[in-house]
């Protein structure tokens, strides 16, 4: 058995030539040639190997065949660690009897699995290889370009493969990140979470669609020290970021109505990560500039959410207006004019995006290895109380109960309110569920109210541009909503915080 430790990065095909030039020019870089790899992935019709968290592949490398079983292993912040079992074979079909009996979870089922195996999908690509020395470590870097493909009802469906795989051959895991950062400074890349096999299963419709409906509370326990708390917060934030990115690329950019909501959640993950670094005094100017860069690419979100709320067939926003069809058509046109897929591509093609991901992974690995420490002596519960109290006091200062807030003021406070809610996402699991949820509910309602106020503003702009007079209707709607929000806010400010 071998154990792979690797970092995977995704890139755009148009960056291939620049990547090859960069990798050839790096110090201590030794090109190791080019090969074409043909890979077939097998499982049973009921996905028994998948149920065992195993992936079975037969690889053809210029006539030399090898069958491989990969187990689930782990992925932490983009670093993949996966045990694998390899056996040379002479045929294109796998022979499970050639593997050690000790590796099977249920040895009695292996013969029936063997008899039912079928090829689910292929991953075929050209691999260019370098050996690169980083201090005393050796990294094998593979640049893979090809496709994942599956036959479905006589038709071949495929997705492109554009990946960089950094595999540690000898030395320290930190060498993978050092080399990744060198690449990310010059070429737009992003962390790769999904393996080729995972992508193949989804393409073959043999895996559940990606989903992350809400930002659930992060799983913390009071017994954790602050170092392990930080590691959990950072690794969870990175994992959710990668998942939402994959959801955006697989579905969101194809559907303008989904994209703003998915991008909002992605930005929430990025903001949660920023808040976490700030709380632990780890947000330096270099990291802050990368966060700001990504925020800039996502500044279409509020406009997009407003337009989607106008369009939403289940929304009561404009349901009773006689101009409903005209306004909906105008909102669709405006949403298409935003060119959200282009804006997302622009973000992914900015080096700040992958650069921040890799910088966070570097920080995560440094704390895991004990090379960085948390200079705080508080217990987790006390620290969480302090973080939530500081966040709460900021909201109280921005929204004092003895002052009336206008629509514009509410919208200007939206980010602060978001960030206060994210602090609750980070530490809320440490508190009684009922008290926590009762306290948070009116503030989450205010966030939705702010979004509706923004939609009214968007409606005002759309109607004015087309000579539709909605001024009296909009004023009445806005005032009614503000009255309800003010009542909710004052009640919420009087509620006893659950962390005290």
pLDDT for 412-423, tens place per residue? 999 999 889 989
pLDDT over 80 (residue 42): yes
What does DSSP say about strands 118-134 and 137-152: parallel, antiparallel, or unpaired?
antiparallel
Confidence band (pLDDT; 50, 70, 90) for 485?
very high
pLDDT of residue 480: 95
Q: Which two tokens stand for residue 429?
A: 């699991």
Q: What angle in degrees, to the nearest 10, is found between the helix axes of 226-250 and 380-398?
A: 60
Percent of the chain scoring above 90 in pLDDT: 70
Q: Kindly report the pTM of this predicted structure.
A: 0.90
Cα-Cα end-to-end distance for the chain: 52
Mean pLDDT of the chain: 90
Distances from the Cα of 256 to the Cα of 14, 220, 339, 409, angstroms:
25, 35, 9, 29
pLDDT of 77: 64
Instruction: Work out the pLDDT band at 258, boundaries 50, 70, 90.
Output: confident
Q: Is the pLDDT of residue 444 over 80?
A: yes
Cβ within 8 Å of residue 63, ≥6 positions away: none
pLDDT tens per residue across span 298-336: 999 999 999 999 998 767 788 888 898 999 999 999 999
Residues shown for the chain: 500
**11-25, 120-134, 182-196, 428-442: segment of lowest average pLDDT:** 182-196
Question: DSSP per residue over 420-459, as a string?
Answer: HHHHHHHHGGGS-HHHHHHHHHHHHHHHHHHHHHHHHHHH
Per-residue pLDDT band for 212 (boundaries 50, 70, 90) equals low
pLDDT at 199: 85
Please say if the pLDDT value at position 1 is more than 60. Answer: no
Crossing angle for the helix pair 259-279 and 285-297, to the nearest 10 degrees: 170
Q: Has residue 148 got a pLDDT over 80?
A: yes
For range 178-205, the mean pLDDT: 88
Q: Which residue bears the tokens 């148009």?
A: 14
Q: What average pLDDT does range 282-290 have in this prediction?
A: 96
The model's confidence at residue 149, banded by pLDDT at 50, 70 and 90, is: very high
Residue 78 has pLDDT above 70, yes or no: no
pLDDT bucket at 254, cuts 50 / 70 / 90: low
- pLDDT band at residue 241 under the 50/70/90 scheme: very high
């Amino acid at each position: 058995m071998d154990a792979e430790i690797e970092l995977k990065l995704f890139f755009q095909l148009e960056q291939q030539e620049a990547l090859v030039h960069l990798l050839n020019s790096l110090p201590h870089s030794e090109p190791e040639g080019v090969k074409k790899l043909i890979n077939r992935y097998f499982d049973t019709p009921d996905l028994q190997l998948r149920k065992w968290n195993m992936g079975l592949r037969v690889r053809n490398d210029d006539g030399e065949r090898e069958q491989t079983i990969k187990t689930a292993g782990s992925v932490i912040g983009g670093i993949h660690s996966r045990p694998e079992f390899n056996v040379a074979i002479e045929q294109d079909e796998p022979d499970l009897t050639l593997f050690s009996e000790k590796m099977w979870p249920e040895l009695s089922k292996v013969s029936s699995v063997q008899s039912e195996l079928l090829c689910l999908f292929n991953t075929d690509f050209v691999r260019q290889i370098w050996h690169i020395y980083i201090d005393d470590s050796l990294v094998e870097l593979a640049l893979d370009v090809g496709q994942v493909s599956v036959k479905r009802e006589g038709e071949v469906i495929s997705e492109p493969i554009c990946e960089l795989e950094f595999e540690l051959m000898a030395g320290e895991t930190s060498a993978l990140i050092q080399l990744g950062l060198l690449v990310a400074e010059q070429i737009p890349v992003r962390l790769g979470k999904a393996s080729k096999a995972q992508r193949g299963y989804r393409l073959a419709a043999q895996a559940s669609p990606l989903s992350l409906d809400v930002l659930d509370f992060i799983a913390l326990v009071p017994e954790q020290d602050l170092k392990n708390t930080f590691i959990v917060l950072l690794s969870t934030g990175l994992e959710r970021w990668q998942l939402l990115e994959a959801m955006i690329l697989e579905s969101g950019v194809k559907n303008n109505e989904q994209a703003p909501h998915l991008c909002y959640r992605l930005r929430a993950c990025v903001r949660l990560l920023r808040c976490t670094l700030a709380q632990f005094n780890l947000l330096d100017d270099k990291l802050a500039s990368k966060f700001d860069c990504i925020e800039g690419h996502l500044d279409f979100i509020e406009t997009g959410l407003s337009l989607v709320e106008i369009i939403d067939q289940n929304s009561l926003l404009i349901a009773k207006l006689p101009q409903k069809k005209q306004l909906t058509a105008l909102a669709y046109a405006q949403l298409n004019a935003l060119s959200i897929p282009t804006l997302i591509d622009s973000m992914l093609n900015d080096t700040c995006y992958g650069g921040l991901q890799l910088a966070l992974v570097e920080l995560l690995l440094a704390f895991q290895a004990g090379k960085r420490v948390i200079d705080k002596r508080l217990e987790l519960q006390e620290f969480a109380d302090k973080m939530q109290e500081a966040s709460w006091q900021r909201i109280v200062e921005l929204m004092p109960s003895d002052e009336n807030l206008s629509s514009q003021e509410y919208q200007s406070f939206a980010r602060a309110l978001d960030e206060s809610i994210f602090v609750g996402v980070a530490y809320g699991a440490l508190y009684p569920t009922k008290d926590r949820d009762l306290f948070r509910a009116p503030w989450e309602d205010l966030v939705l109210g702010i979004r509706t106020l923004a939609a009214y503003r968007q409606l005002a702009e759309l109607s004015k541009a087309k000579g539709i007079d909605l001024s009296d209707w909009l004023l009445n709607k806005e005032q009614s909503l503000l009255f309800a929000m003010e009542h909710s806010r004052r009640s919420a400010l009087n509620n006893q915080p659950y962390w005290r």
